[in-house]
A = this chain, B = another copy of it.
Amino acid sequence: MQNNKALPFKQELKKDKYKMDSKIDVVGIGNAIVDVLSQTEDSFLEQEQLTKNTMMLIDTEQAQELYSKMGPGVEVSGGSVANTIAALASLGGKTGFIGKVSHDQLGDVFSHDMRAMGVKFSTPALQDGPSTARCLIFVTPDAQRTMCTFLGASVWIASTDIDAELIESAKIIYLEGYLFDRDRAKKAFELAAEIAHKANSKVALTLSDVFCVERHREEFLHMIKNHVDILFANEEEIKALYETNDFDDAVYQVQENCSLAALTRGEKGSVIVTKDKKINIPATIISNVVDTTGAGDLYAAGFLYGYSQGKDLEICGEIASIAASEVLTHMGARPQVNLAKLLEQKLSATA
């Protein structure tokens, strides 16, 4: 039974036993962003020609113009992979993050929020150049979020920011698809994946966004086939990747390409896909959905937490679903309660 395709999950984990005892569970590499969230009517999205539930990149001038039209906001640290890493820390995981802020107040806010969660974060702040990245998030009455990101300092991440020692000490590194949007960042990203593989760390990737997939389909497919051990995507993203309208078809194709994928489907829950298995995980039902920002990020946190602790895939999915449900109840993508405690409560309630 040493054939890779048929290798049962638990045995596969045992193979990496020495990594499971290392110091850091997950190191994330992603955009370092402060979110500005505001509740908005659907008519505003139409007026500004924004596509609901997607992420659009904007430049300094667009950011200023759009911000001036935006309602009053709430500022919360964000960034997709950064959200995952913060939530992983809240679950009790040992984590690190590599990402670029500027030397300004919002950069201080982002750095504080990571370190206050216990995340190892020491990427030097950009001294000159653009300000810390901001994401203007418009939350409509249906709790969906539509995002416009000014990437600022975030894409100034360079290969010199890749802390090899930190990456080598990680069981898993988790990479943000959005970083494919800038060449300098993409190079840093590739270097990190290379170091991780040499150190026998697992490489996880999130596709991030439908438009992001459209922009970088070929590169994503190449990377998934050759470097990715765990893939995260939502239904729309995975369908966009394989240019199909049929979710089952996308699942079939991902089974060909990747050893493990976790695919989220909103209220329909999620599907965990291995070479030879599909596990359906129901969504954790909550009544007071306020804002879906970060639901996918927290799903990944729960999954990677379970995975790094050597849990069965079904349990990984269950933890993912619980973590995702917490962030739906309030504005912003960072957990507002201790997720480890929440998990304990939820799991004991269903035991």
Task: Check A140 for interface membership: any CB of B closer than 8 A.
Answer: no
Task: Check A113 for interface membership: any CB of B closer than 8 A.
Answer: yes
Copies in the complex: 2
Report the bound CA distance from A334 to B38 in whole Å: 12
Whether B116 contacts A72 by the Cβ 8 Å rule is: yes
Q: Give the residue of B68, B70, B72, B75 whose beta carbon is less than 8 angstroms from that of A75.
A: B75
Whether A75 contacts B39 by the Cβ 8 Å rule is: no
- Interface-side segment among A102-110, A297-305, A320-328: A102-110
Whether A336 contacts B116 by the Cβ 8 Å rule is: no
Report the bound CA distance from A147 to B70 in whole Å: 28
Task: Check A294 for interface membership: any CB of B closer than 8 A.
Answer: no
Report the bound CA distance from A104 to B74 in whole Å: 17
Whether A74 contacts B76 by the Cβ 8 Å rule is: yes
Task: Check A131 for interface membership: any CB of B closer than 8 A.
Answer: yes
A-B contact pairs, 30 of them (CB 8 A): A36-B109, A39-B336, A39-B337, A67-B112, A68-B112, A70-B116, A71-B116, A71-B117, A72-B77, A72-B112, A72-B113, A72-B114, A72-B116, A72-B334, A73-B112, A74-B74, A74-B75, A74-B76, A74-B332, A74-B334, A74-B336, A75-B75, A75-B76, A75-B109, A104-B104, A104-B105, A105-B105, A105-B131, A330-B331, A331-B336
